[in-house]
């Protein structure tokens, strides 16, 4: 009993000390000009970070399924958020999991985990924006779990109008504001690390504007009565007809979202999306009250892509528009990131998306270093801004300041000064670090001649991260491989010493000039005349953590190697066929052999090629012309590893020449003569070759296959939902790969050809290309009603036109077209997408039938 009492006393004493210390922590206020400022210095504040949802919904359940302790998972993820340099965190709370039907706050595990998470975040200096309610279910991507919470009792678009629903929300938000976090001893509304509160996530306001005004007034009154003195934010990027109500409200801040290339594509999107993020124009910026409210980005993400070039560009554009709070949606918990099940369309984690994670680090520095409201030249000049650069062609983002050098992929850029450099964060190789692994690494200077090196495991993508998710489908595999790292820092010099601090602590050695061999972990590096372990050890506190603190996922459990390969669609006769495979294997293969389908168990002269390990997990080779007979080539790859053999793409044990191994799946490439036209879109496939869109996106087209004569080539027929001059319908297809494959023919083509069928449409369409710069070049052509035509468009007649932003960005008020101001001549070899669109009104009975498209 005495020990228990002493323990409780110690706990209360700790909380009292913690609370007393936090009284001296500066807070955030919003001045009369709508600028967030620090209470002590009055300087402008700038925040960048993520959403992260482990205490709630699918993330909570998925960790339960995997029998992972939620608090330990939170600890791991918070360390990585700190490692990436974030200073902000936002969460929309699933009120259905912490409230009953009347709005009473429930003291349950979800709330306790939220308390714990907020405590861990503020321990590391992160500021917090709390969105009190989501007003929707907790299921996605699963079914909702019924909890009895009040939001399940009302429709999301009526919950702000129903008096009983409003009463429940007022009761709930009062309880939430007054809730005392047992880990800090502070109520949420009194915690200096909580910047402010957003009332609800993406509210659905319908009906009278006055109803919306009433709802906001009621909620603000309840929050004030509860004792809240922190800034209150409200979402203004939805329900545009209610904008006046938002800015009449006595809130201090407004919140916005940005999903520039839509959501939930179901596949990885490819292309140059920098034109999509060059501007963020707010059409209601002249609304009374707009200028005196702070601007926050509660959610943003370039969804369905794993590129590393775009996050810093978005951060730059946000800063140019005066945003002071920027939080991405959403960071995947480490312990379930291998599967990307939480939000299929989003994917971000330091271990599993290494290049993208470093780009977020650069985006954060953009937010901290680029002044608010700074203007930039129009794209493409804005790809170089301040100490930053972004490049679609290299899939690269770089921050280069005197003391820090961050880069997302291989780069030839030199640091500004290697002599005063103190921080390096990288993925790939640069002039100062050459690395053959595929994980991230961090170098931090501790003192002259002493550096801390942190190396994450290799991360190799084996499935499309944005396809239908499952906790049994890995999209990225983790490998704890040994890799060479060359570190060329004058401060370390040659033959520097090293000592590993984590996860092993007994390994040490000396670099071979500037090269060392590393496994994932933490190392101390020191000049040869100053041994690294002289003063530093794994328990030394550094940046709030022990110097040897290291968090990384375990290696993926691999029963066999995985081969990732996209075969060429076409190959021009007369040239060797280049083959490149990613062979993801925990054990380095003995050999990788490629064979065609012409081999036979009964022959002794079967041909093959042996691939060479180029770097990391990439194996390359060339099929000679002598093996490229006929109009197509079909081939397999057999991986010999650890005394076993596996053949792909079938993914079966054994090799094609084994008497008991049946191979019936091959990679296939068509062999064409150089003079053969370049086919961009076929109509013979089982599914349409096109992605279809409309502007506005509320319109749509319906497709069906047309083949009246079994001897005729089928075509795809499109009918339309809207028929006015303002609506445009689009057909879009990625063609980057086929253009690259026809590199010898591409410079010879003169015309773009399109076959159209018998259609009840007479009018104009535009047809052309989107280039690697994101520019669109097109020509308008006339279609004849009820005529089967093959139309010829001379490439020299293509002209620069606005680029349609497809799919449509969110929020809906954003522009739907990018209009270039810097003309760039059309080069057919730079084409990445084929685009067709209607030009003018579409008749109610109109049907457009599209067949093949090619160049000749």
pLDDT band at 532 (very low <50, low <70, confident <90, very high): low
Nearest residue to 305 via CA among 341, 275, 269, 334: 269
Q: Average pLDDT of 3-14?
A: 47
| Rounded Cα gap, residues 401 and 186, in angstroms | 39
Q: Average pLDDT of 233-250?
A: 97
Q: At 705, is the secondary structure helix, strand, or coil? A: strand
pLDDT of the residue at 814: 97
pLDDT band at 762 (very low <50, low <70, confident <90, very high): confident
The third-level CATH classification (topology) of the domain covering 562-672 is: Immunoglobulin-like (2.60.40)
pLDDT tens figures, 824-837: 999 999 999 999 99
Q: Kindly give, in sequence order, each residue whose CB lies less than 8 Å from that of residue 185, ignoring residues fewer than 6 positions away.
A: 15, 16, 18, 19
Contact 254, 203 (CB under 8 A): no
- Share above pLDDT 70 across residues of the chain, in percent, rounded to a whole number: 97
Nearest residue to 262 via CA among 227, 292, 302: 302
The pair of three-digit structure tokens given for residue 479, joined into one six-digit string: 């490998």
pLDDT band at 378 (very low <50, low <70, confident <90, very high): very high
Rounded to whole angstroms, what are the CA distances from 245 to 102, 236, 566, 725, 820?
Answer: 27, 9, 52, 32, 35
| Rounded Cα gap, residues 694 and 730, in angstroms | 6
The third-level CATH classification (topology) of the domain covering 678-855 is: Jelly Rolls (2.60.120)
pLDDT tens figures, 132-147: 999 999 999 999 999 9
* Domain spans, the chain: 45-383, 401-546, 562-672, 678-855
pLDDT band at 21 (very low <50, low <70, confident <90, very high): low
Q: Average pLDDT of 791-812?
A: 97
| Rounded Cα gap, residues 809 and 678, in angstroms | 32
Q: Average pLDDT of 372-379?
A: 97
Residue 530 has pLDDT above 90, yes or no: no
| Rounded Cα gap, residues 179 and 95, in angstroms | 14
| Rounded Cα gap, residues 52 and 553, in angstroms | 18
| Rounded Cα gap, residues 282 and 276, in angstroms | 15
pLDDT tens figures, 312-369: 999 999 999 999 999 999 999 999 999 999 999 999 999 999 999 999 999 999 999 9
pLDDT tens figures, 462-489: 999 999 999 999 999 999 999 999 999 9
The pair of three-digit structure tokens given for residue 14, joined into one six-digit string: 């700790």
pLDDT of the residue at 315: 98
pLDDT of the residue at 6: 43
Residue in this structure with the two tokens 């993925």, named with its chain if needed: 427
pLDDT band at 726 (very low <50, low <70, confident <90, very high): confident
More confident residue, 42 or 843: 42
Q: Average model confidence (pLDDT) for the chain?
A: 95
More confident residue, 11 or 402: 402
| Rounded Cα gap, residues 499 and 520, in angstroms | 13
Contact 719, 845 (CB under 8 A): no
pLDDT band at 694 (very low <50, low <70, confident <90, very high): very high
pLDDT tens figures, 54-78: 999 999 999 999 999 999 999 999 9
Helices 109-123 and 70-83: crossing angle in degrees, nearest 10, is 30
Q: Kindly give, in sequence order, each residue whose CB lies less than 8 Å from that of residue 221, ignoring residues fewer than 6 positions away.
A: none
Rg (CA), the chain: 29
pLDDT of the residue at 279: 97
The third-level CATH classification (topology) of the domain covering 45-383 is: TIM Barrel (3.20.20)
Nearest residue to 696 via CA among 778, 815, 777, 845: 815
Q: Average pLDDT of 591-611?
A: 95
The phi, psi pair for 705, rounded to 5°, reads: -85, 135
| Rounded Cα gap, residues 380 and 391, in angstroms | 10
pLDDT tens figures, 545-556: 999 999 999 999
The per-residue DSSP string of 411-470 comes to --PPPS-TTT--EEEESS--SSEEE-SSS-EEEEEEETTEEEEEEPPEEEE-S-TTSS--
CA angle 270, 273, 279 (to 5 degrees): 165
Nearest residue to 788 via CA among 734, 848, 737, 748: 848
780-784 contacts, C-beta under 8 A, 24 or more apart: 780/839, 783/756, 783/759, 783/848
| Rounded Cα gap, residues 828 and 740, in angstroms | 11
Contact 89, 50 (CB under 8 A): yes
φ/ψ region of 544 (left if φ > 0, alpha if ψ in -120 to 50, else beta) reads left
| Rounded Cα gap, residues 482 and 504, in angstroms | 14
Half-sphere exposure for 589 (CA within 13 Å, toward CB): 28
Rounded to whole angstroms, what are the CA distances from 625 to 212, 574, 576, 671?
Answer: 71, 6, 5, 11
Residue in this structure with the two tokens 């081969």, named with its chain if needed: 563
φ/ψ region of 720 (left if φ > 0, alpha if ψ in -120 to 50, else beta) reads beta
CA angle 81, 539, 547 (to 5 degrees): 40
The phi, psi pair for 342, rounded to 5°, reads: -65, -50
How many CB atoms sit inside 10 A of residue 654's CB? Answer: 17
The secondary structure of residue 395, as a DSSP letter, is T
Whether residue 649 is preceded by a cis peptide bond, meaning omega within 30 degrees of 0, is yes
Nearest residue to 355 via CA among 411, 309, 302: 309
Residue 713 has pLDDT above 80, yes or no: no
The secondary structure of residue 294, as a DSSP letter, is E
pLDDT of the residue at 646: 98
Nearest residue to 376 via CA among 260, 278, 256: 278
Burial of residue 447 (CB within 10 Å: 0-12, 13-18, 19+) is exposed
Whether residue 696 is preceded by a cis peptide bond, meaning omega within 30 degrees of 0, is yes
| Rounded Cα gap, residues 778 and 769, in angstroms | 6
pLDDT band at 741 (very low <50, low <70, confident <90, very high): very high
Q: Kindly give, in sequence order, each residue whose CB lies less than 8 Å from that of residue 250, ignoring residues fewer than 6 positions away.
A: 217, 220
Burial of residue 220 (CB within 10 Å: 0-12, 13-18, 19+) is middle
pLDDT tens figures, 167-176: 999 999 999 9
pLDDT tens figures, 255-312: 999 999 999 999 999 999 999 999 999 999 999 999 999 999 999 999 999 999 999 9
More confident residue, 844 or 87: 87
Contact 834, 761 (CB under 8 A): no
The pair of three-digit structure tokens given for residue 833, joined into one six-digit string: 């997408």
φ/ψ region of 650 (left if φ > 0, alpha if ψ in -120 to 50, else beta) reads alpha
Q: Average pLDDT of 575-589?
A: 97
How many CB atoms sit inside 10 A of residue 811's CB? Answer: 17
- Share above pLDDT 90 across residues of the chain, in percent, rounded to a whole number: 89
Sheet holding 521-526, edge to edge: 384-385, 388-391, 396-400, 404-407, 423-426, 441-447, 450-455, 521-526, 497-502, 508-510
């Amino acid at each position: 009993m005495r020990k228990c009492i002493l323990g409780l006393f110690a706990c209360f004493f700790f909380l009292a000390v913690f609370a007393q210390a936090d009284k001296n922590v500066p807070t955030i206020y919003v001045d009369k000009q709508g600028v967030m400022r620090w209470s002590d210095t009055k300087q402008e504040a700038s925040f960048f970070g993520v959403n992260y949802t482990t205490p709630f919904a699918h993330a909570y359940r998925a960790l339960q399924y995997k029998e992972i302790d939620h608090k330990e998972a939170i600890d791991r993820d918070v360390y990585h958020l700190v490692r990436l340099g974030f200073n902000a965190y936002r969460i929309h709370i699933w009120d259905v999991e912490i409230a009953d039907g009347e709005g009473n706050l429930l003291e349950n595990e979800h709330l306790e985990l939220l308390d714990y998470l907020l405590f861990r975040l503020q321990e590391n200096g992160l500021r917090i924006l709390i969105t009190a309610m989501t007003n929707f279910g907790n299921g996605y991507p699963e079914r909702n779990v019924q909890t009895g919470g009040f939001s399940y009792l009302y429709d999301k678009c009526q919950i702000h109008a129903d008096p009983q629903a409003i009463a429940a929300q007022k009761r709930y938000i009062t309880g939430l504001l007054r809730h005392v976090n047992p880990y800090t001893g502070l109520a949420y509304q009194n915690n200096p690390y909580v910047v402010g509160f957003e009332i609800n996530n993406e509210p659905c306001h319908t009906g009278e504007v006055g109803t919306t005004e009433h709802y906001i007034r009621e909620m603000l009154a309840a929050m004030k009565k509860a004792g809240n003195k922190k800034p209150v934010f409200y979402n203004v990027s939805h329900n545009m007809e209610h904008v006046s109500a938002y800015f009449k409200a006595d809130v201090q801040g407004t919140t916005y979202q940005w999903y520039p290339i839509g959501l939930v594509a179901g596949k990885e999107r490819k292309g140059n999306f920098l034109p999509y993020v060059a501007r963020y124009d707010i059409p209601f910026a002249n609304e009374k009250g707009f200028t005196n409210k702070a601007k926050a980005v509660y959610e943003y993400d370039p969804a369905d892509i794993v590129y590393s070039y775009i996050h810093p560009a978005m951060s730059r554009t946000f800063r140019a528009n005066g945003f002071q709070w920027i939080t991405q949606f959403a960071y995947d918990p480490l312990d379930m990131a291998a599967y990307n099940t939480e939000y299929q369309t989003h994917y971000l984690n330091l271990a599993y998306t290494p290049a993208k994670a470093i780009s977020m680090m650069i985006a954060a520095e953009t937010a901290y270093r680029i002044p608010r409201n700074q203007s930039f030249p129009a794209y493409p000049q804005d790809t170089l801004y301040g100490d930053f650069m972004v490049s679609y062609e290299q899939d690269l983002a770089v921050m280069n300041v005197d003391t820090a050098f961050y880069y997302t992929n291989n780069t030839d850029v030199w640091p500004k000064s290697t002599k005063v450099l103190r921080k390096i964060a990288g993925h790939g190789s640069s002039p100062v670090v050459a690395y053959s692994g595929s994980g991230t690494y961090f170098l931090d200077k501790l003192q002259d001649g002493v550096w801390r090196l942190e190396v994450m495991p290799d991360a190799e993508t084996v499935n499309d991260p944005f396809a239908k998710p499952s906790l049994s489908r890995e999209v990225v595999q983790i490998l704890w491989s040994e890799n060479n790292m060359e570190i060329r820092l004058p401060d370390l010099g040659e033959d520097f010493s090293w000592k590993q601090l984590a996860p092993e602590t007994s390994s040490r050695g000396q670099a071979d000039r500037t090269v060392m061999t590393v496994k994932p972990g933490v190392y101390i590096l020191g000049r040869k005349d100053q041994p690294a372990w002289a003063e530093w050890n794994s328990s030394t506190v550094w940046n709030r953590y022990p110097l040897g603190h290291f968090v990384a996922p375990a290696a993926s459990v691999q029963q066999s190697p995985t081969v990732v390969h996209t075969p060429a669609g076409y190959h021009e006769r007369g040239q060797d066929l280049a083959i490149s495979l990613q062979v993801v294997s925990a054990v380095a293969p003995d050999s990788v052999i490629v064979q065609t389908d012409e081999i036979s168990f009964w022959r002794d002269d079967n041909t093959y090629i042996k691939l060479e390990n180029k770097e990391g997990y990439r194996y390359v080779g060339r099929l000679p012309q002598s093996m490229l007979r006929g109009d197509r080539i079909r081939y397999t790859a057999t991986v010999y590893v650890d005394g076993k053999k596996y053949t792909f793409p079938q993914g079966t044990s054994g090799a094609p020449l084994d008497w008991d191994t049946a191979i019936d799946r091959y990679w296939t490439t068509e062999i064409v003569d150089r003079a053969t036209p370049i086919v961009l879109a076929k109509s013979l496939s089982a599914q349409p070759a096109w992605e279809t869109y409309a502007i506005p996106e509320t319109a749509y087209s319906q497709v069906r296959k047309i083949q009246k004569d079994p001897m005729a080539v089928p075509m795809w027929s499109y009918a339309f939902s809207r028929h006015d001059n303002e609506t445009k319908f689009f057909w879009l297809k990625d063609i980057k790969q086929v253009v690259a494959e026809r590199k010898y023919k591409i410079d010879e083509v003169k015309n773009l050809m399109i076959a159209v069928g018998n259609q009840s449409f007479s009018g104009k369409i535009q047809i052309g290309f989107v280039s690697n710069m994101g520019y669109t070049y097109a020509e308008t052509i006339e279609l004849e009603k009820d005529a089967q035509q093959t139309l010829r468009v001379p490439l020299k007649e293509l002209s620069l036109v606005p680029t349609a932003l497809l799919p449509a960005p969110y929020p809906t008020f954003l522009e739907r077209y990018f209009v270039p101001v810097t003309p760039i001549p059309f080069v057919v070899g730079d084409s990445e997408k084929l685009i067709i669109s209607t030009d003018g009104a579409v008749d109610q009975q109109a049907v457009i039938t599209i067949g093949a498209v090619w160049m000749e």
